[in-house]
Structure formats: C-alpha cells, structure tokens
Amino acid sequence: MSVALLLVPSVMTLVSLDRELGPSGDPPPLAEATTRALRAALPAAVARMEFAPLVQATLDAAGGGPLFHDGLEPNARAKAVLARVAELDRHGMDRGPFRLGFPSEPLRALPRKRQPPIPMTPFTLERVANAAAAAEVEARLLYAHVRYVLAFRFSRESHPLEDVSDAKIAVAEHDAIVKVAAAALTEPESGLKRLWPATADYAAVQAELGRFRALVQQHGPKWPTVSHATWSQSLRKAAKGRKAPREDPLQALQARLILEGVLTGPASGAFDAATRAAVSAYRRDHGLSEDDTIDWSFTRELNRQPGSRITQLRLALARLRESRALRSARADYVRVNIPSYELRIVEGGTITRRHRVIVGNNKLDFDRNAWKQGYINRTPLLQSRMDTVVLNPVWIPPPRILDEEFEGEDHLIVPPGKRNPLGQVKFLLDRTNAVYLHDTNRRKRFEQAERALSHGCIRVHEAVALATYLLGKFAKLTPTDVERRLAAGSQDPVDLDRELAVYVEYVTADVGADGRVRLLPDVYGYDAAWLAGRRAFGVQRYGAGSLRPKSVPVIPEADYRRLKAAGDKAPVTWPVAATP
C-alpha cells in the first residue's frame, strides 16, 4: 500500500477496520494515522483562512488539533460551534462572514465592511471521506470560533467614533484573543455562550428584534403611515363641522399603533381614551414627551418602517456587545446613555438608581480660543473614573463660555449659590478634558423630553440625592452630614473611599425601568453616519468649509495656519478688518 493510501484511507476501509479492532485501551493504529494526517494537513488549511495567524495561534494554544473531529467524525465541539453560529441572527449579526455556509445578511452593503472572498463549498457537519477533507472542516470551524470570540469580546466595528477594523484588532489584541478563544474551546456547549452580554437589557433588545421580525413575516414590510398634514387638516375640518379628508388618518393611526403593540385591537374608529393612551405610550417609548399629541415629531417616528427599526435594533445589539461597561466585568459602575438622557448606577450587576440627565447639544458652534468649529458641544463617549464629589462647587467658566455669555471677560469666578450653573454638586471625573457631571440651577429643563442642551458636560437630575447616596456608600457620610456641609455654603470637595468607574455610551435602543424597549431618536446622527459608511467626525478647524456655523468666516488653510501660529484668538471676520 502506498503512503498516500495509508494516510488517506477510504471511508469504507476505516469503518471496517474500526469494527474489526473495536474499542481498546490504546487508539487503533489506523486512527493514529488518520489523526497524524489530519494534524499534518491543518496548517495549509488554516493558512487559507482570514486572520490566519490568529487562527493558527489558537490552534497551537489548543494543542495543535484535531479539535473538531474524533477520527473522521465531527464531535460535540464541532456541533457546539455550528449551533452558536446558526443562532447569530438572534444577536442581529450576519452569519455569512463566519464561512459556515449560511446566507449573508449584512446591515448595509458598506464598502469598508466587505471582507475578501474566501472560496466556500456547502458546509455539512457529517463524517468526511479523508483527513484532507477533515482538515478543511477543522479550519473553517476554528475560523468561525475565533471570529465569534472577536465579535463578542473585542470588535469595535459599529462604535460611532472608533473605526477600527477587525483586521487591526486581530493584530493589536492577538494574545488576548488567543487566550479567550483557547479557553472557550474547553467547554463546547457554554464556552462561546459566556461571551454574550449577560444583562436583562441585551435580552430585552434581542426579544424586540425577534418581535419585529415576526411581525414583518406576518404583516409584510410595509406598514400604514400617518401624514401629519392630513391629520392636522382633518382636525381643522372636524372643528368646523366639515367632512374629514377622503383618506382616514385615524384608521391608519390605529392600525399602526396595533402593529406597534401599544394599542389592543380591533380599531375603534374613534380617537378615544385607549387610542390617546396608546399615543402617549408610543411617545414615551420613542423618547418624546409623554402626552397624546399627534405632532410632526410623533409622525416622524411612527412612520419609520419596520425594516428601519430592525436595523436600529441590530445596531443597538452591536453597541451593547461593544459596551465598555459590559466588557469591563465590573460589578459597580455609573453608565450614561446619551440617546436616552439617562444615568444609571449599577451595583453588583443590578441597576439601583436612575437619573435623568442633560447632555451636550448638537448645534454647530465654534471656539475661537481653540480654533475649532463643528459639533463641539456633543458630550464625548468616554471611560473614566469618579473619585471626588464637590459640594457647593465654585464655577470658573472656560474661555469659550466667557466669550459667549460674559462678553469676553478675562477672568470670572462664580461662587456657590443660586446663580451658579453647577448647582449644589459637582462629580469630578478623571482625565475627561473638563467634562464632568454636575447639578444645575435651571432644573425645569429636566422636564423636557429632548435634553441635548448643554455645552458638553452632563447635568444630573436630583443631583443632591445622588451625591448623598454616593457619599453614604463611598465616603461614610450620613444624609445629615451632607445636608450640614451643603448648608455651610463654601466649596467642600469630598474624596470617595474608592474610585467608581464611569462610562458614557451611545445606544439608540434602551430599556426603561418598566422593562419596555425604547427606540430612541439618533440625537447625534451617529447611527445614520455608520450606516452610510461615514465616520462620525464632529469637529473641523476654524474657518473650514464644512461643519461651519454661519457666523464663522471661511478662511483659507494657509491663512488659518499663519493666524493660529501668531497665538491670537480666531477672527470673527475675514479678511480681518483693519484697526481704525
């Protein structure tokens, strides 16, 4: 018998020899030969995979294989990996790039997301004919396993401000990925499942995605819409005792609210109490004021078709998988989600407090001192630490605020008191470029539904109550102690016993205290930018043609560099007016 035939025996030969030898304390000689042949063929098969160095390193860390076959039969580990990939649609993920024969379903055909094609044959998990075929299956299963680890623990592909490809992450995080991937291989059933975000929010968004998909299957992808203009016209005619338009907007409204799950059918045909309550519930679940007004903002959100909502939910699941808060493995932290205008205190993995917040506005603005323009007031996404709570803070306005609100005064200190914009409490964050959490002296603004209103810092509703809670837990101060120190009226910084992690994130599908998923407006346009394949840049140099407020002149690049190098503030006119 030739060497080739010895190393790659036929299926029938293997079956007959296995039956003849039967089980024993030592592996049958032919099984040893098959394993050796499979191991020898693996490197070449792995080399054809994407992220080949990462896949090969994982194979080496796991003992060199074979990992997914017992002889030529696929084992429990192979079935577990295939099962995990098969259910990726529950996570809103495209299964096609995992190269196991599933059809591709990308969020959007983005050029920067396309992966180089890899030759594929239909994948079936069954006994193969020889070691070479087994090696191909091994390589594809191992590649799918590594990619799964990459997607659930390391990838930052959908982060609105961090356009880092998986290829770059595979190099930068090589050792860490190999460690996690090798560890996940030891427990076939649960190894990959443990990488999922184990939170109620993630499960709720998954369930909402499943609900929308089921509704599309049942009712189709085109749902009724409500014209705000037609609705307003109908109300005006009804008020005057005239007939409503031929198109009945109330019928479309109730049909849509029933599909959305906030109105119990059948439709009544009247704008009754149940319909008004459903409108109010829908507004609440979509980040609008909680009333029964049929305004433009309401119809804008209501008229989004289910395919758009499915995309929003898929992207939200990706953002949750990429969440620094969820990946940190910390039990206690503070999390601010910008689109929901909410701060959460999480302790032992459980949400213990919720506070409304005001975040940075989304208006084009400029900073003459920093020579920049654009969306400079957006609250940054960040990971930081809170180590100090300042009672009765003093406010020293930054130069930009001095220019805008205090007519360019050179220096100003606002003492504690009712006129202080920081209110009674400030929460210091580490290395956030003057962005922090604080109280406010304009608390009525927390009653607004859309609260992107600040210059970038995060204003906290009931900030004194939050400070009292944190100082009681992390500084051993009683509520009476805090009240007494506030009454003293002087600035009083209090260090916490230990630092508390703080995360500011951006997810447009959030879960309220009632457990309902809220599909929120894309306040900074980060979702829209990502889906269009654009980076979500928000800042440009002063005087550039793009992201320019109307009050900023267009300044050529060369003149911008020359003027900035001179050390003065950016000019408000161009060419600079001569001094009389």
Burial class (CB in 10 A: 0-12, 13-18, 19+), 399: middle
Contact 231, 249 (CB under 8 A): yes
Cβ–Cβ < 8 Å for 12, 19: no
**Cα(382)–Cα(161) distance, integer angstroms:** 11
167 or 5: whose pLDDT is higher? 167
Query: Of the candidates 197, 476, 174, which has an alpha carbon nearest to the alpha carbon of residue 319?
Result: 197
3-state secondary structure of 554: coil
Mean pLDDT of 391-400: 91
What average pLDDT does the structure give for the chain? 88
Supply angle C-alpha 500, 505, 508, rounded to 5. 140
pLDDT for residue 243: 59
CA–CA dist 155, 52 (Å, integer):
17
CA angle, 348 then 354 then 358, to 5°:
135
User: How far is it, in rounded angstroms, from Cα 400 to Cα 377?
Assistant: 11
Interacting residues of 122 by C-beta distance below 8 A, sequence separation 6+: 101
pLDDT score at 580: 45
* pLDDT attached to residue 31: 76
3-state secondary structure of 69: strand
Given a cut of 80, whether residue 479 has pLDDT beyond it is yes
Specify the pTM. Answer: 0.89
* 269, pLDDT greater than 80: yes
Q: Which fold has domain 325-531?
A: L,D-transpeptidase catalytic domain-like (2.40.440)
Alpha-carbon distance 231 to 254, whole Å? 13
Q: 249-260 and 273-285 helices cross at what angle (nearest 10)?
A: 60
Q: Which residues, 6 or more positions from 298, have their beta carbon under 8 angstroms from its beta carbon?
A: 228, 279, 282, 283, 288
Angle at 518 between CA 514 and CA 520, to 5 degrees: 150
- 48 touches 19 (CB < 8 A): no
Residues 6+ apart with CB under 8 A from 433: 380
Cβ atoms of 384 and 502 within 8 Å: the answer is yes
Which tens digits make up the pLDDT trace of 36-65?
A: 999 999 999 999 999 999 999 999 999 998
Cβ pair 425, 343 in contact under 8 A: no
Q: Compute CA distances 556 → 369, 540, 545, 553, 577, whole Å.
A: 18, 13, 9, 10, 16
How far is residue 492's CA from residue 408's CA, in Å, rounded to a whole number?
A: 29
Which pLDDT score, from 0 to 100, does residue 241 have? 60
pLDDT of 294 > 70? The answer is yes
> What confidence score (pLDDT) does residue 24 get?
45
Residue extent(s) of CATH 2.40.440.10 domains in the chain: 325-531
Give 15's contacts (C-beta < 8 A, 6+ positions apart).
none
Neighbours of 357 (CB within 10 A): 24
**Under DSSP, is residue 476 helix (H, G, I), strand (E, B) or coil?**
coil
Q: What percent of the chain has pLDDT over 70?
A: 89
pLDDT tens per residue, range 193-243: 999 998 999 999 999 999 999 999 999 999 999 988 888 887 766 656 665
With 80 as the cut, is the pLDDT of residue 131 above it?
A: yes
